[in-house]
Amino acid sequence: MYNELLWIFTQLPDDYIVLDTETTGLPDENGLPDIVTLGITVVRDREVAETIEFKTQAQKRISEEAQSIHGITNEQAAAFEAFDSQWQRIAGYLMGQLIVIHNASFDWPILLDHVERFGLPMPQIQGVFCSQKAAIPWAQAMNLPCSHRGPSLDVLTGELGVEDLRSKSDGIHIASFDSWQTALAIEQMRCNGHLDKDLGNKMTFVY
C-alpha cells in the first residue's frame, strides 16, 4: 500500500555502499562523539556482496548509554586500532560510490569530523543518500512509528518482512549488521516502489 511513495528508492544505482557507525555517545557541548565501530556493506547488482566492520580506538570515553546500545566497553575499545591507521582501507570502499546511510545527518558529520581531525584525504564520492529521510512519506502514510528523522531500521525491518539480523545479536547494535540490514530494507523498498509484483519475485539476496 502507498508503494508509489517509495519511488525514490527505485532511482538508486544498482551498486552502492551502505555505511553505519556506533559511537561513544551523542553530540554534546564537547562536540561530536567518536566512532567506535564502522560497518560497510557493499551492494553490487542489487545484492549484498560484502560486509565488513572496522573497530576504531576512540579518544573520548564511551557513555554508559552508548555501551548499553552497542555493548562495547571503554576497556575493549582501548585495544582497537586507531582510526587514521585504518582510513586507507575505509576510503577504498567509499571511493567513487554513492554512500547510503540510515540517519545520515548523524553518521556523516561524525565521519567527516574524524577525517578533518586526523588530516586525512577524503576520497571523491558520488554523494550521500539518507534512507531514513527518504522513507518518511511512505512510513507516515502507513501510520508507522516515525520520528522527525524518519522510521527506525527496526520499524522498517518489521514492516517489510526482511530478515532481522539484529535479533542474532540479542538486540545489540552491530555496525556491520546494521549496514547489512539497511541494504536489505532498501532493496525491498526498491522492489515495492517499482509497483511490479513480478519484479519482487525475481529479487535474490546473498546472505
The domain ranges of the chain are: 3-202
Say what the pLDDT of residue 170 is. Answer: 87
Query: CA-CA distance, 121 to 138, in Å (whole number)?
Result: 37
Q: To 10 degrees, what angle do helices 175-193 and 153-160 make?
A: 50
65: enclosing H helix or E strand? helix 64-70
Q: How confident is the model at residue 10 (pLDDT cuts 50, 70, 90)?
A: very high
Q: Which three cell numbers stand for residue 159?
A: 514492516
Query: CA-CA distance, 33 to 35, in Å (whole number)?
Result: 7
**Please, where are the H alpha helices in 71-206?**
74-77, 83-94, 104-117, 131-134, 136-141, 153-160, 175-193, 197-202
Of 122, 135, 126, the closest CA to residue 99 belongs to 126
Summarize pLDDT for 54-112 with one digit per residue, the tens.
999 999 999 999 999 999 999 999 999 999 999 999 999 999 999 999 999 999 999 99
The class level of CATH for 3-202 reads alpha beta
Q: Which amino acid is at 133?
A: K
